[in-house]
Every structure is written in structure tokens, then in C-alpha cells.
Structure 1
């Protein structure tokens, strides 16, 4: 369907006249100046205009569905939890066997689970994204893994829809439908905008809460550096103190506060982008410092429990720690793992390129996945990054 026809269709479905349609550079709002309502000027969101088109499209296409996933019982005591990010659907899928060999009770797939934005020409149907999911649906290594290891999933920009995308992505509701259909999202997740989710596992004094944040669907646009002839070597973004900007959106913030008030012994909080670091100007919570301070304060006010943060995105990984003032003096730990099969550089080069006092290890840039091993008797958890042959690259043990 041509774009002109699509806009005419959605305008007609919304009860608008057939006059000219105006879109901003992000497609965030479409305005129709010629109305059937006299001189009244009405602004209609592009998402509302597109809703009937997507309802029709959903009836006409078969959306891809992931291979079946084995279930995990709520009473399962988690002793080994694996996670990873940045998995290109068309590259080697050998890491699934390495992860499975560690026998985790649960695997967290935490973003850039495919690269469906590559080759995208801007079509509202998100054809390349659907094709990326279809490739994953037909991946034998992923099928074998899902038959053995239960999974929880959130997204990052490349499987959300476009690089560094957030709430201004006009097609985000269709992207959400594709995601939820493919990964078999719960009814709770499907009932609300965004894909954030929390689950409890274990019994007695061995309860693990896994909180999967959605740092895409609601996130405000980030502030960028002034244009220069030379591209900034460590990213284009600058921190913004604008109180109107949000990382999670109001509803997700309220939900998170409620989840953190629930009793648990250890909380695993997943953010697709890094939280603690200030060492670069790519996407991270540093870009929205008021939101990061809010997160730290909310984490500090949680019901008593241990806690570890997990993140991805960077095509490199390491172990981080900080004691931010906003966290009321608590030492916070973060393990970043990336990528499963899409490495860009070497550890030596990346470590030198991005010095960071909050990173306690080298910046592991070869393929890796993360592992959190819990010793309930000793009340410790051990974080580690494992390489493409399952070898330990970096590790730290923390009491909780």
C-alpha cells in the first residue's frame, strides 16, 4: 500500500475529510486543517490515524511466533540465572548451546534480540522487523534452547523498531503487537501499553523477583550535542535536566514502585540500557539524570532485599558498582552483557577507549553472556561474563 493511500485510509477511518495531511519529521502528529467541523482546528495523533490500518493488517498477515518455550514453576528456587543481549538473527547462533550448558533455571533476553530495523525503508507495516522475527522462528538453535530453558524477554531499540528509538516512534504499537505475538507475552503485559513485566520465583526465604523494565516505549527523545564535523567518539547525547522528559513513563513508574514494595529476598532489575555509568554519551540513564535519581531513590526505598541490575546494549560488557547519593548510600551493582553474536571490537581496545572508575573489570568486547549464580545458604550472588566457549571472563561475588 502506498503511503498516500495509507494516510487517506486512516484519515477516512478516523472520520476526517480528505484534505492535506501534515506530518512532523518523526511522524509524531498529523494535522488535518480541512475539517467537517467548521473552523475548529483539531490535532490528531498519527497513532490514532494508523489504528484502523493496523487492525486490518493484523487480520491479513500471519505474525511470526517463537518456537515453544518450556515453562518454569513459580515455586522454582533460582540458583543460576543467565542473560544476554544483541543477537543478530542472521549471524551465528552458537551461543545458545553455551548458555544451555550452564544449566540456568531461567534466561533473560534483554534487548536487541534481533536487528529488525536493518534495511527498514520506513514502511508502516515494519516489514523488515517481521522478517527478522520470522528468521528467528525458523532458527533451530533457538528452538532447542527454548525447549530446555524458560525465558523472560524485554526489548531494546533494534527490535523495538529503529536505532535509539523511543516514544516518538509512530509505529510503536504495531511493534508491540509483533513482539507480544512472537514471544507469547502474558495477558497482563498485553493488557497495557509497553512490555514491562515482573515475576516472583521461589519459596520461603529464597524468593527472587525479576523485574523487566521497558526503556523504549515511553522514553522521551534525548538531547543531542551541537553539530560538529567530527562525530563524538563516545556518543551524541548530553544529559538533560528537563523535568518533563521521562525514561519509563508515569504508569510504569507507578507499577515499579508497587513491585518494589512486594516482599522478596533478591531482586534482579533489568534495564536494556546501562544505568550506573557516566563514561560515555551513548544511550544510558545518565542522559536523563533526574530519572536516574528517581530510580535510585525508588530502589533504595524497596522492601528489604538484595539487588543486582542487569543491562546490555553496548556490544561489550563488564561489572559496575557505585554508591550514588540518591540511593541513600547503598552500594549498587550492575552487570552489563553484550553481545551474543555481534561484537565490534577487542577488549583491549574498548577498555582503553572508555575508561570508567565505576567499571571494576575490563570492558569485555568479544561475544559474551551473563550469569548470576545465587548461593542461598551463604546469602551471596556471583556475577560473571562468559565467553563464546563458556569460559569465565570476569566475575565478582556480592553478599546480600
Structure 2
């Protein structure tokens, strides 16, 4: 070995040692604190051109509104004929209550949520849906099947990707995009005819539900029990704080959108009653509102029904209309015999259906109507709100 070779090797050795010293001295990046944080670099590499619904009609919040349609449980693979029926009732706004697509159809746990993106892409392509959006403004919440797997909640590791897909498809407002979760509030109309829409997110922050003990017998009405844990949350701290602020705003009528049912305790599927302390907290928050009547709209159940109760923590009568499903019914006619319920004020209709809410400002009344997919009324109620 020549002296020049020895000198070259010595120089390289010094350079390597110097580099190792620098590496050793460099600060180490903190490890990710959650699966979500670990996934963010990966999600940043994905195609950001995610599916979007057509731009559609815009809601004029300066004008009083009197006709709102709503529904839930719309499968992207099934017929879309109900949209023309709803449009024929001339709603000024349509609310998607949840399960607006079934992104978990064929889902096998992939982090990119490819089946969810495909579901949105297919829904966006349906001519009936495009035509409806061109005619009627739409606002949306989500439920489990367009959020994640069946009955999923805040423990779903890929919820940030799910939120990105939802907010892109539904063209969510800047306010919604700026915070975790998809909860929203919209104030419509002038003083004296002011409607506040409060659209809750019962998925992104919700703690896991408590399962009932195993039984060899089939459970036709669900398998979730109740938890009395004071730490269990439905909405999460940030959404609770936001809700308190929204309820401080004056309104003449407040329409509360919850993807899952609020009032009933007649089944063991997902519902607010699985977390009774959270439900009591919600009633107290509503009781402390700055005026205005209220009505609750919900979905999820693949059946439609009216409910009325006077919760002690609320101290006043409250009506809820569940409208479900738009195109994925699991039966037909009144199937209420399988689910006796002392607070249900109608049949339990398994036909494909949608809901209509009509405001009579002069009389201070709301007309609620559950309509079958052919437009026929299944049940109607008229409720005073002032």
C-alpha cells in the first residue's frame, strides 16, 4: 500500500468519524404520539384530487327559509330515483343526516380508504344526484358507513383521511375544514324568522361503546349496553365548547341534526342513550339556549318514525323525526311491533323514505312529514315552536 493510499484512507476515516459525530450530536425527532400522527406524512403523499360532488345550488342565508327536506342511508350502488321525488316537493334545502354513501362496502382496513373514495366518486357520477344538487342546496353530516367501519367512532385510526374525503366531496366551509371533525352551524334568515341549523358530529370524537355480554340467543335489537362513566364522551371537549357558544346565539327555531337517535331507549343499537350522562348534558345545554323552539332530526335506523318526550334535564317537550333510508330499506310497511316504544308517536316505517320540515312563520308552527319514496305521506305532525 502506497503512502498516498494510506493518506487517502486516513482522510476518509476522519471524514466518516466526523460525520458520525455530527449525526450523533443531531437532535432526534420525537416519535409520533398516535397512529394518526404517524400516518400524516403518508397521507400527504396521496393524490389530493379527491372526489367532489358537483358545485350545485347555493344557500342564501339572508332569506327566511320555510321548506327543508332531509334523509339518510343512501348507498352509492343502488338506484337514485328518490331524488326526483324529493325535488318535486320544492325544498329550499336538503340535509344529509349520515351514511350518505357506504364507503365501508368492500373495505378491508386499508389506510388510504380507497373504497370510501370510490364510493364518493360513484355517487358524484349519478345523473339524478347531479340534477338534484343543481336545484337544491345541500348540507351534510356523517354516520358510521361514510366515516369508517360499522359503528366506528373516535378510535378509528384513519379518521383524518375520512374527514378529508368528506369535506372535499361535500365542499365543506372553511370553518369546518379548519378544525377536527365535521360539526357545523348555519344561521338562516332575518331576525324574527331566524333558523339555526346545528349539525353535530357523533363519530369523530365518540368513545367506544360498551358491548352487552355474549348470549347464544340472537339479538334482533342490537348489542350495545349503557355506560355510566363520567369520562365517556359523545361529542368531545372541543365540540361541546363550540356547541355552548352556538346555543348562546339568538334564534327563533333551532334544528338539531344528530346522525343517531336522541330520545329513544327502545333498542340496543347506537343511540345517545348508550351514554346517558352525555345525553343529560346535551339536554341541559339545550335548556340553557338563548331562546327559540327546537326539533331534532336523525337517521341511521333504516326506518322512519316520530318521537316525543319531555326529558327532565330539558324541562320541556321535544320532538324528533327519524328519516331513514333513502334507498336501502330492510323491509316495508310498519314494523313497529318488533320495537315497542312508549315515546314513539307513529308507526316504525321500513319503506324507503325522506323527511320534510315546513315552517309556518305566521302561526309559529312546524309541520313534520315522513314521506315514502313515491312521495306518499306515512305520518305527519304539527308542532308549535313559539
Q: TM-score, normalised by structure 1?
A: 0.88
* Residue 320 (structure 2) aligned to one of 334, 348, 353: 334
> What per-residue deviation string (whole Å, max 9, x for no partner) do you get for residues 319-353 of structure 1?
100001111x20011000000000002333x2100
Write the distance in 1 (CA, Å) between the matches of 2:82 and 2:64: 25
**1:306 aligns to what?**
293
1:361 match: 346
Asked if the contact 1:67–1:142 (Cα under 8 Å) also holds between the matched residues in 2, the reply is no
SS of residue paired to 1:347: coil
Say whether the 8 Å CA contact 2:72–2:99 is kept in structure 1. yes
For residues 152 and 44 of structure 1, the distance between their equivalents in structure 2, rounded to whole angstroms, comes to 34
SS of residue paired to 1:177: helix
User: SS at the partner of 2:283?
Assistant: helix
State the 1:230 CA deviation.
2.3
- Cα distance in 2 between the residues matched to 1:229 and 1:356: 25
Question: Is 1:378 aligned to 2:356, yes or no?
Answer: no
2:382 is the counterpart of 1:397? yes
1:80 maps onto 2:67 in alignment: yes
Which secondary structure does the structure 1 equivalent of 2:95 belong to? strand
Query: Of the two, which has the highest radius of gyration?
Result: 2
- Is the contact made by 1:68 and 1:143 (CA closer than 8 Å) also made in structure 2? no
In 1: Cα distance, 2:130 partner to 2:199 partner:
22
**Aligned counterpart in structure 2 of residue 275 of structure 1, from 262, 266, 273:** 262
Change (3 A) 1:217 1:253: same
Corresponding position of 1:207:
194
Where does residue 274 of structure 2 map in the other structure? 287
Post-superposition CA distance 1:265-286 (Å, at most 9, x none): 0000000000000000000000
* Counterpart pick for 2:152 among 165, 172, 183: 165
C-alpha contact 2:97 2:142 (8 A) present in aligned 1: yes
SS at the partner of 1:333? strand
2:248 to 246, 261, 275: 261
1:30-179 equivalences in 2 (<5 Å): 44-59=33-48, 62-179=49-166
Query: Equivalents in 1 of 2:232, 2:33: separation in Å?
Result: 22
Matched, 1:186 2:148: no
Aligned-residue RMSD, C-alpha: 1.5
State which drifts further: 227-236 or 366-375. 227-236
Q: CA deviation at 1:42?
A: 6.7
Q: Confirm or deny: 8 A CA contact 2:148 2:159 kept in the other structure.
A: yes
CA–CA distance in 2 between the matches of 1:234 and 1:153? Answer: 27
Which of 308, 317, 322 aligns to 1:321? It is: 308
Aligned residues: 359
